[in-house]
Every structure is written in structure tokens, then in C-alpha cells.
Amino acid sequence: MGAEQISAWLRAGRLAARYPEVPGLLADLDATALARAGRLLARLDPDEVARHHPGIPSVTVAITGHGTLAPLVPALTAELARHGLLLRPFSGDFDGYVFDLSDPGSALYAVDPDIALCVLDPAVVFDEVAVPWRPEDVERVLAGKLRLIEWLAERFAAVARGTLVLNTLPLPSLLTSQLTDHRSRARLGAAWREAGAALLRLSAAQESLVTLDLDALVAEGVPATDSRMDLYARMHLSAGLLGRYAREIGHLARDLTGRTKKCLVVDLDGTLWGGVLGDDGREGIEVGESHRGEAFRAFQRTVKQIGSQGVLLAAVSKNDPEPVREVLREHPGMVLREDDFVRVVANWRPKHDNLAELADDLNIGVDSLVFADDSAFERGLVRRELPGVAVVALDGEPALHAERLLADGWFDSRDLTADDRARAARYREELARRDFLDTFDSLEGYLAELDVRVRLEPVTEAQVPRVSQLTLRTNQFNLTTRRLQPADVRALAADPDASVLAIHSADRFGDNGLVGAVFLRRDGAVLHIDNFLLSCRVFSRGIEQACLTAVLRHGAATGAKAVLAPYRPTARNGKVRDFYPRHGFSRVGGGSGDAEETGGTEAAEFRHDLRSIAAPPAHLRLIDGLGGETQ
């Protein structure tokens, strides 16, 4: 149905206008249907989509490699469209990867890619191995290729701002079988895998590099090569493997555009355990002991593992709350316990209402949620009422639950920081803050007792990855949503005319960690706030006002005559479109710049003349690391 609808819109000339509906059509397509949809979508002009929908994020992806990579463009088009993104592709010449990546004047660098794909295949090595060959001949070529690829990666990091993607080389049995003795085959396999390990280790040494492990995809049963296409078309990786590769790139693009999901919400009956708690009772549900019970335990282990890496876990179930609490606290077969979740919601309300309320409680968008449920009815209702929620389709086979949850890499990110690992505990503290708020008659009284402490200071080297991550993931309080890689943050911090400031906060419930950043640039007598962003966890506590006051005081103290600050609207930062006008700025070019005037659709620039700077909120303590006064 999805590919047919896309085809109909394309024929009618309406596909660009209907592009926001495409992700829903692609959500449940199998590989064959998705490939067909990708071929249709690849015929669409990205500029036409952008004219209809300027708010849709576009991602420029440059493709280079050794062999024919024609199927990759439609596959990438479909995979990015699944996540609400628009692909702007560039394809290099056949076997042009060395020139494309080594020459700063190449067409690849000219397109300024967000992501550059250097697609490697076994022929990269074996095209240079003479016949007859022995394992040591392959080892020699491998060593030379590794040196070349490492140099190309360093070249890219020095020239480009985007992310370079390499991959390990699958080793087809067609090659190993050409060696007739097992000892030689073992030596070839060892050398090949050592080269793969070296490629994987490159990503640890270079921040702008990601290496995909294609061996893991081949292990799923995806053919590494297609002999006919390999020989006749010089396409050295199979179309199926290129399709799975494209899916991984879709996950990376989602992370780089700030669309990584934050919270996994699971159903209980039929999802975390077998049976229906209300009918079967605590002793009658399936978890542990039986084969099916062990499958549910295995799924719980997967969920717990995800939660240990900064993904928030929540449960939403149609059940009475007390029996659910008893199972989570006392059932001997459970891997997940009550304190693994930031929230357990058990009632008889519609699940989409509970999901919307959960997102509000956590102060995140509903589009940050992933919902896993075995009920087709519940999934369909959530899709209809909350289309931004990613829905994972489970069924009556618990042995496949983990596979289906992980298939879309909803929580994949390039790096994991210490703040990520502490995220669940901090969100639990945030819910405790909300419960604390309920004991007060006024917000003012609550804030006075919360004991908020804010520290604003220049970013340190150790904080660079976290600041980069905030630019990639923060969407609501993000005045320009400019996405920065660690190298970009580091370059700005080293620029004598720029400053990167880290925002830390804490209160009576605990340390919130590094929760925001301000990017400043000095141009003569004008101080520019190039961006200002703050984690949704700490909204509405006066932190943003205190930091803005410190920046304005810093500008005045260092001889600035004015501060200029832009606002660039997106689909998710509308709540801050009046941030600068509310704090003494005037819109450049006339008008007050209030919410109605900017309309949330046009970029605007605001100016503060530094004549009157408001004091920071009285309820918090500001530690000003810019040389200003601490309050």
C-alpha cells in the first residue's frame, strides 16, 4: 500500500506536497517494498520538497567507493524518508574514492557533505592481488590499503566538517575456498579480521569517523555479494547488503539531525511477560521457568541493557496499579524492577493519553518516545493519535521481541557520555521535583525552596563531547538548532573571537550536570549570541534568564555596545521564539519580535543595547565564570 500510494502521488505531481506523510507509509514496509518506494522517491527533486516544506531537515550525503553503488541512492532516500528527513545525494565516479577524499578541491568536498560514505568491498583488496596468490600476498595488500584509508580519513577530518563513514570488508567464502588447505584459510581469515579490527579502531581515534561492521549484517543472513552483479556490473556488495547499510546510515542521519529517541515505553501483558495479569494473577503470568517465560526474560534483559545507556524506560499498561507494582517488586522471574523505570503507568485510560501525559511529565516531546506493544489495536490507535511516536510491532512470539525492538536502532548515537549513563537517575529526580511542586500553592514558593544553583563557565576539553551532543539532540530550547560535531565545538572554543560556555545546574534533589551551552562571537563592539540551548529537563527554573543576564553583563563589561542574537524557527522550537523579546531585546528591522509577529515560521534577529540589564532571578544562585559577579 505504501509504495502504491507514493507512486500515485508521484504520477499526479503531488508527492513533494505530501512528503510529510511519507514516513507513515514507509513504517512497516518489508525490504522489497521499501526498495521500490526508494526508487520512486529518488525521482523526486529535493528542492521541490524543500519549497513545499522548508522545515524538513535535509541531509547531504556524499557517496564514494571502489565498486558500483547505484542501488545505494534509492535505498538511502527511503531510509532517510522513514525518519522524516530529506536526502540530498552526491555520487562520485566509479572507483573514485582515493581522488574524492584526497583532493580538497574535489566535487565531494564542494558539496560540503553532512555524511560522506566511503563504501569499501573485498575487491578493494583482491583487485590488486595477482594470481596465483597466497595468504601473505593478501596480507601485504591489506596493510597498504589500511595505511591509505587511515590517511584518507585524516585528510577528510582536516578538510571537511561532516562525518566520514567507513566499513569493514566482508570475506565471501568464494575467496577463502580458493585456498585448498585449512591452515592457509585460517591465516587469510585472521589477517582479514585483523584488518577489520583496525578499521573499527580508527573510529575511536578520530571523532569525525564512524566505522560500520558489515560482518554483523552478514551474520543476519544478508548475502555479502551477488556473483553475477559482481562480475557483470562491478557491484561488489549485494543489493541486500547495501540496503541494510543504508538503514544504518539512516540511523546515523537521525542522530546527527537531533532525532534520536529518548524514552522506550513498553506494554506489560504479552510484552514483558506472557498472559494477562488481571486474569492469570501474579503466579500465572509467564516469565522465567518455561521456554516462553525465558523468552520474555531475554527481552527484559535487552530492555534493561538499553536502559543502562541513558535511554529512559517507562511502562504503560491497561491494568490495576497495585498488582503491577507487586509483580515488579516481588516476582522472582522478573529481570526488570520498579526502579528501572522512570514511570510505571497502570490504569484503564487510552494508551495514547497516557503516552502524551508521560511525555509532558518528562518534559520531552512525544516524538522522543518509542512504544512497544503486542496489541495491533493499541499500536494502531497510538499511530493515529500520536503520529510522532515510533511504534514497534510485537506479536505473540516473544523470542522475536528483542530483534524487532532493535531493528530500527531508535536509540543509536555516535557517542555515549557520562551524562547519558546518568540520565535515568536525573529524570527520576525531575519527577521527584514535580511531586515536590505539587506541595506548593505557587511556583514562586516552589522555586524558592528548590535551591537552584547555576554555573556558567568556558567549556573544557572534557566537556566538548557533551556540548556537541546537546547541539545534536536538543530541539525545544534551541534558538538556531545548529548541529555541531565535537571538532566544531573544539574549533569554536579555540577561536580567539568566539566563546563556548557550558551551563551546569544543581538543586536540592541533585546535580543535573551539563545542561546547556551558549555560543558567543565578538565582532568589534558587537557581541553575537550565535546559539543558546538548554536541556528540556531544566526548563522553567530561571536558568536561561540567569545565563542570559551573565552574558549581557559580560558584554557590557568587555566594551560591547550591543548584543545581537538570531532565532531560527523549526517545527519543535516554537516555545522559545519570544525568548529574546521577553528579556529586553528588540527585533532588528522593526517590530517587537513577539510570538505573534514572528509567527514561528520566519528567522529573526534581535538586539539588546545593554542600557538596562535585568537582574537574574532572586530564587537561584548564579556562579558566573565569565569574570562577572556571583549571585
H/E element, 468: helix 464-473
| Strand-strand pairing, 58-65 and 498-507 | unpaired
What's the mean pLDDT when you consider all of the chain?
A: 92
Question: Domains of the chain by range and CATH?
Answer: 1-51 (no CATH), 57-256 (3.40.50.1110), 263-405 (3.40.50.1000), 432-624 (3.40.630.30)
What is the average per-residue pLDDT within 108-125?
96
> pLDDT band at residue 432, thresholds of 50, 70 and 90?
confident
Mean pLDDT value across residues 515-525: 95
393 vs 280 pLDDT, higher one: 393
Under the banding of pLDDT at 50, 70 and 90, the label for residue 593 is very low
pLDDT on residue 628: 61
- The percentage of the chain sitting over the pLDDT mark of 70, rounded to a whole number, equals 97
Which residue has better confidence, 469 or 120? 120
The 10s digit of each residue's pLDDT in 127-183 is 999 999 999 999 999 999 999 999 999 999 999 989 999 999 999 999 999 999 999
What is the structure's pLDDT at 89? 97
Instruction: Kindly write down the DSSP assignment for every residue of 25-50, as one continuous string.
Output: HHTT--HHHHHHHHHHHTTS-HHHHH
What pLDDT was estimated at residue 595?
39
CB atoms within 10 A of CB 596: 10
What are the tens digits of pLDDT across the range 187-226? 999 999 999 999 999 988 888 899 999 999 999 999 999 9
pLDDT at 289 over 90: no
Q: Which residues of 432-458 are buried (b: 16+ CB within 10 A; e: fewer)?
A: ebeeeeeeeeeeeebbeebebbbbbee
Percent share of the chain, pLDDT over 90: 77
Looking at residue 599, what is its pLDDT?
A: 40
Name the residue with cell 509504495.
3
Average pLDDT over residues 243-256: 95
Of 216-225, 491-500, 583-592, 593-602, the range with the lowest mean pLDDT is 593-602
pTM above 0.75, yes or no: yes
Residue 630 confidence class, pLDDT cut points 50, 70, 90: low
SS3 assignment for 550-583: HHHHHHHHCCCCEEEEEECCCCCCHHHCCHHHHC
**If you average pLDDT over residues 89-99, what whole number do you get?**
96
Instruction: Give the pLDDT of residue 631.
Output: 59
At residue 590, the pLDDT reads: 59
**Among candidate residues 382, 359, 362, 357, the one with its CA nearest the CA of residue 267:** 382
Task: With a cut of 80, say whether residue 594 has pLDDT above it.
Answer: no
Confidence of residue 395 (pLDDT cuts 50, 70, 90): very high
Task: State how beta strands 86-91 and 58-65 pair.
Answer: parallel
What is the pLDDT at residue 423? 81
pLDDT band at 438 (very low <50, low <70, confident <90, very high): confident
Quick one: pLDDT at residue 186?
97
Question: What confidence tier does 46 reach under pLDDT thresholds 50, 70, 90?
Answer: very high
Cα–Cα dist 361/509, whole Å: 17
pLDDT higher than threshold 70 for residue 125: yes
pLDDT at 601 (0 to 100): 58
Cβ(414)–Cβ(255) below 8 Å: yes
Buried b (16+ CB within 10 A) or exposed e, 554-574: bbbeeebebbbbbbbbbbbbe
182 by Cβ neighbours in 10 Å (0-12 / 13-18 / 19+) ranks as exposed
pLDDT score at 42: 95
Say if strands 115-119 and 263-266 run parallel, antiparallel, or are unpaired. Answer: unpaired
Averaged pLDDT for residues 27-48? 93
Q: Enter the C-alpha cell of residue 218.
A: 552478514
Which pLDDT does position 598 carry in this prediction? 37
Say which range, 246-260, 565-579, 590-604, has the weakest mean pLDDT: 590-604
Q: Which of 21-25, 187-191, 590-594 has the lowest mean pLDDT?
A: 590-594
More confident residue, 35 or 590: 35
Residue 392 vs residue 207, higher pLDDT: 392
Q: What's the rounded mean pLDDT across residues 230-245? A: 95
**Is the pLDDT at 519 greater than 60, yes or no?**
yes
